[in-house]
Amino acid sequence: MLMQQLLNGIVVGSVYGVFALGFTLIFGVNHIMNMAHGAVFMWGAFAGLYAVTMLDVGFPGALLFGAVGGGLLSVLLDWVAFRPLRKRGASDFSAIVSSIGANLILLSLAQQLTQTRVMRFPFDTFPIKVYTIFGLRIQLLQLVIVGLVILMVLGLVWYLYRTSYGRQIRAVAFSEQTSRLLGINPVAINFQVFFISGALAGIAGVLIGLVFNSVHFMMGEPLLLRGFVVIILGGLGSIPGALIAGLLIGIVQTMTVAYISAGMADAIVFSLLFLVLLFRPKGLLGGASAAVRVNRQ
Amino acid sequence: MTFFNVYTPLFELALFNALLAFSQYIVLRAGVFSLGTAAFTAMGAYCAGVMATQYGLPSWMGICAGTLLGAVAGVILSVPLARLRGVFQALATLALVQIVLSITLNWVSVTNGALGVNSIPRTVHLSHMLIAVAVVTYLLWAIGRSSIGRAFDIIREDETVAVSLGISVPKHHRIAFTLSGMIAGLAGALHAHASYSITPNEYGFHMLVMVLAMVVLGGRVSVAGPIVGAIILTSLPELLRAFDSYRTVVQGAVLMLSIVFLPRGVVDTALSWLRARRLKAGTATKEARA
Amino acid sequence: MKALRLENIQRSFGGLPAVDGVSLTAPPGRITGLIGPNGAGKTTVVNLITGLLKVTSGRIMVGEDDMTEAEAPVLARAGVARTFQNIRLIGDATVLENVVSGFHRHEKVGMVANLIGLPAMFRERRELEERAYVLLERFGMTDLARHPAGSLSYGHQRRIEMMRALAMDPKVLLLDEPVAGMNDAEAYSLADIFRGVADQGVSILLIEHNMRFVMSLCEHLYVLASGRLISEGGPDHVANDPKVIQAYLGG
């Protein structure tokens, strides 16, 4: 039973990790806390769902549509909500407020579209196969999810560390001014960053929609809130941090639901966030430095 | 008179929102990015509601206790929170809102869980709300003109300058948190006594967004900012009855458009425009005389 | 009256020394110059003195007090004031409000009076504004008191910074390129003000890029290049020191 819950926690947690990866990527490069990332995730799930129900594209198609839909939406978000602020050199406060507004718009549009219904993927979207290994019941979907997450992470790492685009992204993350001097076009970089992070969120949306067999307009909010916990725990802007913290939160959450009570899961997860912020603002693994106090530096 | 009778609930809501906006305003003015107003409001509301329904205590005691609880929570939390900055402060206070929400949902013996606290005596009326808003307005206006307000303004704009002038940033952040908690506690307690029942979900993400929108739209420096913001955003849904289902879309758009196109808010933008005009007129007459 | 004394201070960023073993003294009543080419580490020295940066080694003395570890607000309250090389004013606030903010360390009214708006608070505000007007008069900016600081010219903004620093009634005053971007007439009118301030017993450390201006104002100069002091002495001595000439011309 314990092992079973651990497994479920790892599966959910790895999807949290993917979601948080996009979140942390945007923060790492643009220093923006994108409060609408949960809405991108939700719309990604809808894109996948509609692709399956209307175009009958099956599971791979759902992933593709989820990724492209999430990616494009995320780019649009950047253009509408963040770019005007970046041009003005506005504070991170403005970016948070602007993305909260965008989040509200995306959320209520989805609500109107679905008339607040909970939607489901068709029964045959993914074959239900269950393997029993050492008494553990493992679904094929769970295996596929973990495999996909590993693939996506490797892909992202390859992109960031082995391609010239990735080098440019990291240069902008290091210092936008310096990279401008090096002739790097920040518009192209932001397009890539927002597309990649939106695509990751979209895929995460499709996967979560399949795992819990429900897609609805509020599905992004808990993920966004958990996303905060994950990136703070893992250290803002840190890729391995996001993954490890994602797994950790997934496990903590499933365990709490299974052994304590469903209601306490949030209280425990957020208390964890609060404590980490107070005692280790750089995250458990270190990451972008949290601006703490104006002291001699 | 019928006009007032019909719109009394709306006025009360606007005044309640103005108090919430003040709670958000005072932290933002000091450059503290706290989103904790909803949490402090919940504390004040539940404190007053529980005291009235479970212990049968008079309303004024509950309201005082709720205000005090908000202030105490503000003081205690400000100590660790004043160490953080920017997004980290925002996230920590967001976590606080979630924690308080979980507590109100799960501590059923006291809070009655998701059902909320019901049949709270309705002892607070429009006149009380008006007095509360007037008092808080005066206090915040006075603070704004005092040494503390000057320090807030400098800290918000440039912390390096602030410390170079001898201003202690943590001390002023603590003051701001405490005031924010106190005002929100008062607002919550008054609201509990003005509305029969309270439920946990009133104090979640939605309230946080609303309150933030009011201050961003109204303005973060002048005391009139939060009031104007509260009035606009309270009456907006009434004016937009026709588009009822798209109300939240409009709210979101207001938030986005105002931060993009009116980053300083309606009131502060208008005030600086007026000031510029007055100065221009002043120099013009001087030149004419010379 | 307090002298400022740096004893062999050192600071490195990521292993590279930005300030390397600088010792200097700025005595009361004098304007001491610290000059050097761009990138010599002058502003780093100012940030080390004013408590924004930590020294790697060495000591910073203000009068008889060791201020090496003191945080910025403590230094400010002890009477160390500064201006910023890249002007840092509250642009939306008026000139008057910017100057008044410099009085922070002299504010005496208690917390309660401030919080609940007692008359004492309003009285103090009026007094500080009157004192600010005295400064505005001295700098010839009374007419601009109600203008937003951000809307004024560069020269005016420099003056506001100066007034804000003087409002602190400093014992030690650090001027970080105070006349940068001004024409000669403007610069020399400020020079008179600096002399007046020094005559009241303030220790002034004038950080400048403009050699000519410093030469005319300071009796004693220190020359910084690549984080090290390469020369010190009277203006004539320094101006003819081959090391100085080389540092300025050779880059």
| Tens of pLDDT, residues B32-41 | 889 999 999 9
* Distance between C251 CA and the closest CA of chain B, angstroms: 31
pLDDT at B265 over 80: yes
* Distance between B247 CA and the closest CA of chain C, angstroms: 34
Q: What is the 3-state secondary structure (H, E, C) of C157-174?
A: HHHHHHHHHHHCCCCEEE
What pLDDT shows up at residue C99? 94
Banded model confidence at residue A291, pLDDT cuts 50, 70, 90 = very low
b/e burial code for range C229-251 (CB count within 10 A of at least 16 → b)? bbbbbebeebbebeebeebeeee
Please indicate if any CB of chain A lies within 8 Å of the CB of B233. no
Banded model confidence at residue A293, pLDDT cuts 50, 70, 90 = very low
Computed over its alpha carbons, how large is the radius of gyration of chain B?
20
Q: Which residues of chain B neighbour C164 with C-beta distances below 8 Å? A: 165
Banded model confidence at residue A218, pLDDT cuts 50, 70, 90 = confident
What pLDDT shows up at residue A263? 73
Please indicate if any CB of chain B lies within 8 Å of the CB of C243. no
Domain ranges of chain A: 2-218
| Chain-chain contact of B150 with C124 (C-beta, under 8 angstroms) | no
* Distance between C54 CA and the closest CA of chain A, angstroms: 5
| Chain-chain contact of A278 with B94 (C-beta, under 8 angstroms) | no
* Residue B179 · residue B40 · CB < 8 Å: no
Q: What is the mean pLDDT of residues C150-162?
A: 89
Burial label, A128 (beta-carbon count in 10 A; 0-12, 13-18, 19+): exposed
Cα A31 off chain centre by: 16
pLDDT at B285 over 80: no
What pLDDT shows up at residue B4? 65
| Chain-chain contact of B164 with C148 (C-beta, under 8 angstroms) | no
- Could you give the CA distance from residue C74 to residue C59 in angstroms, rounded to a whole number? 16
Q: Which of B106, B252, B263 sits opposite A90 (nearest CB)?
A: B263
* Distance between C99 CA and the closest CA of chain B, angstroms: 11
- Could you give the CA distance from residue B287 to residue C9 in angstroms, rounded to a whole number? 54
Interface test with A, best of C11, C48, C49, C52 (most A CBs within 10 A): C52
| Chain-chain contact of B95 with A277 (C-beta, under 8 angstroms) | yes
pLDDT at B48 over 90: yes
Detail the DSSP E strand segments found in A118-252: 130-133, 136-139
Domains and CATH numbers, chain C: 1-79+170-251 (3.40.50.300), 91-167 (no CATH)
Q: Is domain B2-289 in CATH 1.25.10, yes or no?
A: no
| Chain-chain contact of C69 with A296 (C-beta, under 8 angstroms) | yes
Residue at token pair 């003109």: B145
User: In the structure encoding, which two tokens stand for residue A224, read together?
Assistant: 């966004």
C206 strand-pairing partners: C33, C175
- Could you give the CA distance from residue A213 to residue A125 in angstroms, rounded to a whole number? 11
More confident residue, C69 or B6: C69
CB atoms within 10 A of CB C215: 17
Q: Which of B169, B246, B253 sits opposite A294 (nearest CB)?
A: B169
What pLDDT shows up at residue A274? 81
Select from A126, A14, A34, A118 the least CA-distant residue to A81: A34
Cα Dmax for chain C: 64
What pLDDT shows up at residue B130? 94
Q: What is the mean pLDDT of residues C123-140?
A: 92
Q: Which residues of chain C neighbour B289 with C-beta distances below 8 Å? A: none
Q: Which residues of chain A neighbour C69 with C-beta distances below 8 Å? A: 296
Please indicate if any CB of chain A lies within 8 Å of the CB of C51. yes
pLDDT of C171-227, one tens digit each?
A: 999 999 888 878 888 888 888 889 999 999 999 999 988 778 888 888 899 998 888
C204 strand-pairing partners: C31, C173
pLDDT at A292 over 50: no
Q: Which residues of chain B neighbour A111 with C-beta distances below 8 Å? A: 248
| Chain-chain contact of B260 with A228 (C-beta, under 8 angstroms) | no
What pLDDT shows up at residue A141? 87
User: In the structure encoding, which two tokens stand for residue B233, read together?
Assistant: 């955003």
Query: 3-state DSSP call for residue B264?
Result: coil
| Chain-chain contact of A291 with B86 (C-beta, under 8 angstroms) | yes
DSSP H helices in chain C: 42-49, 72-77, 95-101, 111-116, 119-138, 154-167, 184-199, 211-217, 235-239, 242-250
Q: What is the mean pLDDT of residues B52-62?
A: 88
What pLDDT shows up at residue A67? 95
Banded model confidence at residue B284, pLDDT cuts 50, 70, 90 = low
| Chain-chain contact of B91 with A33 (C-beta, under 8 angstroms) | yes
> What percent of chain B is predicted at pLDDT more than 90?
42
- C65 phi/psi in degrees, rounded to 5: -95, 135
Amino acid symbol at C219: E
- Average pLDDT, rounded, for chain B: 88
Q: Which residues of chain B neighbour C101 with C-beta distances below 8 Å? A: 150, 153-154, 165
- Residue A95's closest chain B neighbor by CA? B259
55-84 of C, contacting A, C-beta below 8 A: 69, 71-72
| Chain-chain contact of C53 with A295 (C-beta, under 8 angstroms) | no
Total residues found in chain C within this entry: 251
What pLDDT shows up at residue A166? 84
Q: Which long-range contacts (CB under 8 A, 24 or more apart) does A166-172 make?
A: A169/A29, A169/A193, A172/A29
* Residue B28 · residue B265 · CB < 8 Å: no
pLDDT at A286 over 70: no
- Could you give the CA distance from residue B191 to residue B185 in angstroms, rounded to a whole number? 10
> Chains B and C: how many Cβ contacts under 8 Å?
97
- Could you give the CA distance from residue A17 to residue A10 in angstroms, rounded to a whole number? 10
User: In the structure encoding, which two tokens stand for residue A59, read together?
Assistant: 């599971």
pLDDT of A57-109, one tens digit each?
A: 888 899 999 999 999 999 999 999 998 888 887 777 788 889 988 998 998 89
Banded model confidence at residue A197, pLDDT cuts 50, 70, 90 = very high
126-165 of C, contacting B, C-beta below 8 A: 146-148, 151, 164
Please indicate if any CB of chain B lies within 8 Å of the CB of C227. no
Residue partners of C135: CB distance under 8 A and separation at least 6? C99, C163, C166, C167
- Residue A271's closest chain B neighbor by CA? B99
Residue partners of C145: CB distance under 8 A and separation at least 6? C94, C95, C96, C132, C133, C136
More confident residue, B245 or B265: B265
Banded model confidence at residue B1, pLDDT cuts 50, 70, 90 = low
The DSSP call for residue C148 is B
Q: What is the mean pLDDT of residues A171-191?
A: 80
Q: How is chain A split among helix, strand and coil, in percent rounded to 5?
A: 75, 5, 20
User: In the structure encoding, which two tokens stand for residue A74, read together?
Assistant: 């995320």
Identity of the highest mean pLDDT range in A164-178, B276-290, C161-175, C227-241? C161-175
| Chain-chain contact of A274 with B102 (C-beta, under 8 angstroms) | no
Identity of the highest mean pLDDT range in B172-181, B277-286, C82-91? B172-181
Domain ranges of chain B: 2-289
- A172 phi/psi in degrees, rounded to 5: -65, -40
Residue partners of B287: CB distance under 8 A and separation at least 6? none
Please indicate if any CB of chain C lies within 8 Å of the CB of A292. no
Interface test with A, best of B259, B261, B262, B264 (most A CBs within 10 A): B259
Q: Which of B139, B153, B264 sits opposite C90 (nearest CB)?
A: B153
CB atoms within 10 A of CB A295: 12
Burial label, A284 (beta-carbon count in 10 A; 0-12, 13-18, 19+): middle
> What percent of chain C is predicted at pLDDT more than 70?
99
Q: Which chains are adjacent to chain A, needing at least 3 Cβ pairs under 8 Å?
A: B, C
Pairing relation of β-strands C4-13 and C80-82?
A: unpaired
What's the angle, vertex CA A214, arms to CA A209 and CA A218, rounded to 5? 90
Cα A288 to Cα A28, A81, A233, A273: the distances in Å are 8, 23, 12, 16
What pLDDT shows up at residue B2? 64
- Give the CB-side neighbour count of residue A240, counting CA atoms within 13 A: 4
Enter the ipTM.
0.89
What pLDDT shows up at residue A58? 84
pLDDT of C54-112, one tens digit each?
A: 888 899 999 888 988 888 999 999 999 999 988 899 888 899 999 999 999 888 888 88
* Distance between B193 CA and the closest CA of chain A, angstroms: 27
pLDDT at B90 over 60: yes
Q: Which chains are adjacent to chain C, needing at least 3 Cβ pairs under 8 Å?
A: A, B
* Helices and strands (DSSP H and E) totals, chain A: 12, 2
* Residue A294 · residue B169 · CB < 8 Å: yes
Q: What is the mean pLDDT of residues A28-37?
A: 86
User: In the structure encoding, which two tokens stand for residue B63, read together?
Assistant: 């309201």
- Residue A31's closest chain B neighbor by CA? B87
User: In the structure encoding, which two tokens stand for residue C120, read together?
Assistant: 């004492």
- Could you give the CA distance from residue B153 to residue A259 in angstroms, rounded to a whole number? 49
What pLDDT shows up at residue A290? 41
User: In the structure encoding, which two tokens stand for residue B278, read together?
Assistant: 């007055």
Q: What is the mean pLDDT of residues B137-154?
A: 93
Select from C60, C74, C34 the least CA-distant residue to C174: C34
Query: 3-state DSSP call for residue C222?
Result: strand
pLDDT at A289 over 50: no
Select from C224, C218, C215, C225 the least CA-distant residue to C203: C218
* Residue A26 · residue A99 · CB < 8 Å: no
| Chain-chain contact of C93 with B153 (C-beta, under 8 angstroms) | yes
